[in-house]
Amino acid sequence: MSLDLETDVNLYPFVLTEDQEHLRREIRAFAAREIAPNVMAWDETSEFPLAAVKKLGTMGLLGIIFPQEYGGAGLGYVDYVLAIEELSAVDGSLGLTVAAHNSLGTNHIFLAGNEQQKRKYVPLLASGEWLAAWGLTEPGSGSDAGSARTVAVKKGDRYVLNGNKTFITNGHYADVAVVIAVTDKSKGTHGLSAFVVEKGTPGFRPGKKENKLGLRASDTSELIFEDCEIPGENLLGAEGEGFIDAMRVLDGGRISIAALSLGIGRGALDAALKYVKERRQFGKAIAEFQGIQWKLADMATELDAARLLTQRAAVLKDAGRKITRESAMAKLMASEVAVRICNDAVQLFGGYGFIKDYPAEKFYRDVKLCTIGEGTSEIQRMVIAREILKVYPSRG
């Protein structure tokens, strides 16, 4: 379980407002009460904790970044990062569920949808009455989104979708999915368009539920489209601009994955700190050995550095600034740092780190997704390099 609020008030690079402090306390108390007792049971059975997710909706966390006029909480990305970290320090599965719902599915509708679409869908999603999914990845189209094969063919005033998406968070439980499909194959990424597809639409169904290494209480599945007809009004944004809008969505989504990483890393560090102060070898707590202390120092320092990058991206996002580089840096740093922290936590637990009776192994399993989801570390490096090269053009 995470450290007490009174002892970790300096985790953040600035003083939190009274409202932000209240938000942290509320989420931390909820996580301790509603999530922590069930973590291993949900993990063992891959149970999606729908009741807990609905309660998070009641708390406003499923609409945290959306304006109050659309039924949201009207908070910013700084608050959002706080919320995701607090949830993920106890169970990354809940953090990921909230992140995918807010940053991806709902946010695509909010960013690219017209006013009628926003009024129709966002209030239902922001309240938690509905859950959202976002479909970009396909079995043969991961980092290379331009090779997508799911197609949307216009017939009169309707579109017919055929194809399938994979690794979709919330896939089985989503009431609405935003789906990226090919509308003009000759134009590459500029021939991709986005559509809203509601649960229960004929020809649309979730497919295989994935049996995963970690984050097992987060639902991950296929979405299958077989002659799925949707109204033309379900096109999100302009035809051919689905990929462009998806990249805007991912800029914000990467902040949430950075926050997910921070939470999992912090949870592992907290567990390790507690263990090394209790575990005794050679007549004293292993926390007294310099080798242990240096490892802890590196873990804590890297976590704080990742948090600074994440909060920078969140602050700039709230200020309306372009954050492509900053969100990629935060996601890259936080995810890779968290993997190292969780690896070190298992090492500090020794043999017990390999046993499910102790928390280290679950953090270790959960964290790896953070270097893969919403753009691999390799893709983040490509994004960062591209952005910094724009700033320093050749003078030849």
Which residues are designated catalytic? 374
Phi and psi, residue 176, nearest 5°: -150, 145
What are the start-end ranges of the E strands in the chain? 132-135, 151-155, 158-169, 176-182, 192-198, 204-209, 220-231, 235-236, 280-281, 284-285
Assess contact for 135 and 179: CB atoms under 8 A. Answer: yes
- Coil/strand/helix, residue 139: coil
Please report, to the nearest 10 degrees, the dihedral formed by the alpha carbons of residues 293, 297, 299, 301 taken in order: 180
Assess contact for 57 and 122: CB atoms under 8 A. Answer: no
Assess contact for 97 and 170: CB atoms under 8 A. Answer: yes
b/e 332-364 (16+ beta carbons within 10 angstroms → b): bbbbbbbbbbbbbbbebbeeebeeeebbbbbbb
Residue 26 tokens read as: 């509320």
What are the start-end ranges of the E strands in 131-282? 132-135, 151-155, 158-169, 176-182, 192-198, 204-209, 220-231, 235-236, 280-281
Largest CA distance in the chain: 80
**How crowded is the C-beta side of 203, counted as CA atoms within 13 Å?**
13
Distance of alpha carbon 222 from alpha carbon 80, whole angstroms: 27
- Coil/strand/helix, residue 340: helix
Assess contact for 53 and 169: CB atoms under 8 A. Answer: no
